[in-house]
Amino acid sequence: MAESIKILTGNFDVPGIEQLDVYRKNGGYAGLEKALKQMSPDEIVEEVKKSGVRGRGGAGFPMGMKWGFLAKPEGVPRYLVCNGDESEPGTFKDHYLMMKSPHLLIEGMIISSFALGANTSFIYVRGELMYVINILEKAIAEAKAAGLLGKNILGTGYDLELVVQPGGGAYICGEETALLESLEGKRGNPRNKPPFPAVKGLYQCPTVVNNVESISTTPWIVLNGGEEYAKVGIGRSTGTKLISASGHVKNPGVYEIELGLPVEEFIYSDQYLGGIRDGHGLKAVVAGGSSVPILPKDLILKTAAGEPRLMSYESLSDGGFASGTMLGSGGFIAMDETTCIVRNTWNFSRFYRHESCGQCSPCREGTGWMEKVLYRIEHGKGNERDIDLLVDVAKKIEGNTICPLGDAAAWPVASAIRHFRDEFEWHVKNPEAATKKGAVYQPELSLA
Amino acid sequence: MTETIALTPERLEKAKEIIARYPEGKQKSALLPILHLAQEQHGWVSPETMDFVADLLSIQPVEVYEVATFYTMFHLEPVGKHVIEYCRTGPCCTMGGEEVYAHLKDKLGIEAGETTQDGLFTVKEVECLAACGWGPCFQIREKYYMHLTNDKVDEIIEELSK
Ligand SMILES: Cc1cc2nc3c(=O)[nH]c(=O)nc-3n(C[C@H](O)[C@H](O)[C@H](O)COP(=O)(O)O)c2cc1C
Ligand code: SF4
């Protein structure tokens, strides 16, 4: 495949790109100039709609459509809040983007704020990334000194203050209404919806929440037009996507791929992950962050119908929960055959138990139960009923909670059992063998 | 007592700047950033510090307590000089984390949640730090240490013990 188009990361390797002058010399802030001087806010919204770009935070909701829902009552301020909480296991792309090219996000924030009519906007970044917050604040100070932020930006009469807000260590604050609560100085408890943030968000005012990567597409879209953006990618999966890859691959890291790239090429081509580490074979993949269903090798490379699986919203979800997964946040975790699926599932369930805010009993109690039972199985104390118990608990959480964290906790467990049930059974039937250090279920042994 | 609670004049100045960036009447939004400032100064957040912050923001002390206890970054008890927070979540473990973290704890002779007797190191287990492909990793204050190996851990500990 030819060198693929880079919409976000094209100049990331230019030395000093985090500095304003270097960023500008490499085409930076040209999108902002065009947006503020040649376009109306509605025209920008129109281009974003035409681009078809979908939210990159995980849910994949069309960004232009979300912008169109923003309520605009007279005399009430509106807010744009950028979601840089990035805490979904497997996901580290926003970390990479903000650290490498802070001005890209800042330019996107100014364009987007102008399009939405916001005069104060926030970038909420997980508190652990304080060094990235410092990078952003330095870049904001530079932009302000150059007249790109603050009062009367580029002499156009448009005013914008941009605030970087640190989180305090809580995955749940990535959920947009929990994030808004947190930004108001409260515990990160998700709100009941409706009302949606577009009507009542930050400080009860109309608010748009978008992911770091989503907002960073706007300079390119403004410069090149929404139609050009929509030509990249495949079908309703337009544009490019940052994929953060981890696990047993030769070249872990962050990649900007054109949507529609075959999964097989992504994993095995030297241009991307370079294959699985020496001497080992692929066993399973979690394709879109820890919340999405895990798939065994066969189903991640090809759909159940035998079609090549592509890195796109539609192709990855082909087959639904029975045989598909989701693109999610683009956190791609590859596991080779030395991986114990039970241990990994227990690890993830411990994460969700730890991160549940505790408001809804199915999530609070259910995540606790799942972790306990999985711990038991992994540590040689499980019984056969435990496997069905897990399926049952997962089912009872799903769809019965205020926010989707409940589902996010249930899916990894349900999918691991769906696709690797024999491995769970081996654990409960052979506790001694299964708890030996480094022991991993081998399918051929189970026949004996 | 107050010097262990209040902010230095420079940090107080910074806190006032932070408060001023939110709309009129929304000063409570400054709570998380100011708790970070306080922790940066004292190493942890004591009940007295929380009361001080409540006063600064003209909110009830309980509004600070409930927030400080919700977010895992705030240390509610005194900690060692260097707090090592290692990521225990799936991807880092896949990248070899369990072994490296066991080595770290062995080397320091403590378990997660404990502090060495000389008060130099506290080790804490945390969830995903958004550095999965660069794991295993831990952070010490603002700094991320990535691609950790046993040897690298030795070097870091020796450097910080000097
Ligand atoms: C538990 C949970 C955690 C989430 N974490 C994040 C996150 O870290 N970053 C993010 O952008 N979106 C996250 N989301 C999705 C947000 O709620 C929201 O959909 C997103 O920020 C909207 O931006 P987008 O449309 O540009 O993707 C999370 C959702 C849930 C339920
Ligand atoms: S589903 Fe879980 S995390 Fe979400 S609001 Fe309910 S208890 Fe909190």
CATH for B31: 1.10.10.1590
What integer pLDDT is reported at residue B3 of this predicted model?
54
Interval A49-84: pLDDT, tens: 999 999 999 999 999 999 999 999 999 999 999 999
CA–CA separation, A67 and A387 (whole Å): 44
Interval A113-151: pLDDT, tens: 999 999 999 999 999 999 999 999 999 999 999 999 999
B101 and B156 share a domain? yes
High-pLDDT (> 70) share of chain A, %: 98
Chain B residues lying within 8 Å of A165, measured CB to CB:
29, 32-33
| pLDDT reading at B88 higher than 90 | yes
- Select from A103, A97, A69, A100 the least CA-distant residue to A83: A97
May I ask the CATH architecture of the domain A240-336? Roll (3.10)
- Mind telling me how many Å the CA of B161 is from chain A's nearest CA? 23
What integer pLDDT is reported at residue A333 of this predicted model?
98
What integer pLDDT is reported at residue A437 of this predicted model?
84
What integer pLDDT is reported at residue B86 of this predicted model?
98
Count of beta carbons in the 10 Å neighbourhood of residue A145? 11
Count of beta carbons in the 10 Å neighbourhood of residue A198? 18
pTM: 0.97
CA of B7 to the centre of ligand 1 (A): 34
Chain A residues lying within 8 Å of B141, measured CB to CB:
130
Interval A170-182: pLDDT, tens: 999 999 999 999 9
Question: Residues A172, A175, A180, CA angle at the centre, nearest 5°?
Answer: 100
Q: Is residue B127 part of a domain?
A: yes
| C-alpha separations of B4 from A395, B9, B78 in Å | 50, 13, 12
The token pair at A169 is 């260590």
Q: Is residue B1 part of a domain?
A: no
> What mean pLDDT comes out for the span A275-289?
96
What integer pLDDT is reported at residue A193 of this predicted model?
94
CATH number of the domain that residue B145 is part of: 3.40.30.10
What integer pLDDT is reported at residue A22 of this predicted model?
98
What integer pLDDT is reported at residue B1 of this predicted model?
45
B38 and B93 share a domain? no
Q: Find the helix packing angle between A384-397 and A405-429, rounded to 10°.
A: 170
Q: Is residue B76 part of a domain?
A: no
Interval A422-448: pLDDT, tens: 999 999 999 999 998 888 998 765 443
Q: Is residue B142 part of a domain?
A: yes
> Are B71 and A167 in contact (CB < 8 Å)?
yes
Q: Is residue B4 part of a domain?
A: no
Query: What is the DSSP annotation of B54-115?
Result: HHHHT--HHHHHHHHHHSTTS-SS---SEEEEEE-SHHHHHTTHHHHHHHHHHHHT--TT-B
| pLDDT reading at A37 higher than 70 | yes
| pLDDT reading at A2 higher than 70 | no
Q: Structural domain of residue B132, as residue ranges?
A: 82-161
Q: Does B81 touch chain A (CB under 8 A)?
A: no
B89 and B60 share a domain? no
Domain map (residue ranges) of chain A? 20-230, 240-336, 341-434
What integer pLDDT is reported at residue A279 of this predicted model?
87
B87 and B109 share a domain? yes
Q: Is residue B18 part of a domain?
A: yes
Identify the CATH class of A341-434: mainly alpha
CA–CA separation, A349 and A359 (whole Å): 18
Interval A292-346: pLDDT, tens: 999 999 999 999 999 999 999 999 999 999 999 999 999 999 999 999 999 999 9
Q: Is residue B2 part of a domain?
A: no
B106 and B47 share a domain? no
CA torsion, ordered A357, A361, A363, A365, to nearest 10 deg: 100
CA–CA separation, A207 and A180 (whole Å): 9
B40 and B101 share a domain? no
Tally of domains within chain B = 2
Query: Ligand 2: which of A173, A393, A398, A402 to mutate, judged by most atoms within 8 Å of the beta carbon?
Result: A402
Beta partners for residue B143, in sequence order? B140
**Average pLDDT score, chain A:** 96
A85 lines ligand 1 (CB under 6 A): yes
What integer pLDDT is reported at residue B4 of this predicted model?
66
Asked if A81 and A209 touch (Cβ cutoff 8 Å), the reply is yes
The token pair at A420 is 């690797």
B49 and B100 share a domain? no
A378 CB-near residues (< 8 Å, 6+ apart)? A340, A342, A343, A346, A427, A435
What integer pLDDT is reported at residue A439 of this predicted model?
87
**Average pLDDT score, chain B:** 96
- Nearest CB among A130, A171, A347 relative to B90 is that of A347
**Which residues numbered 98-137 in B keep a CB inside 8 Å of some CB on A?**
126-135
The token pair at A286 is 């979690």
B57 and B15 share a domain? yes
**Rg of chain B's alpha carbons, rounded to an integer?**
18
| pLDDT reading at B2 higher than 90 | no
> What mean pLDDT comes out for the span A380-403?
95
Q: Is residue B77 part of a domain?
A: no
Interval A192-229: pLDDT, tens: 999 999 999 999 999 999 999 999 999 999 999 999 99
What is the third-level CATH fold of A20-230?
A: Rossmann fold (3.40.50)
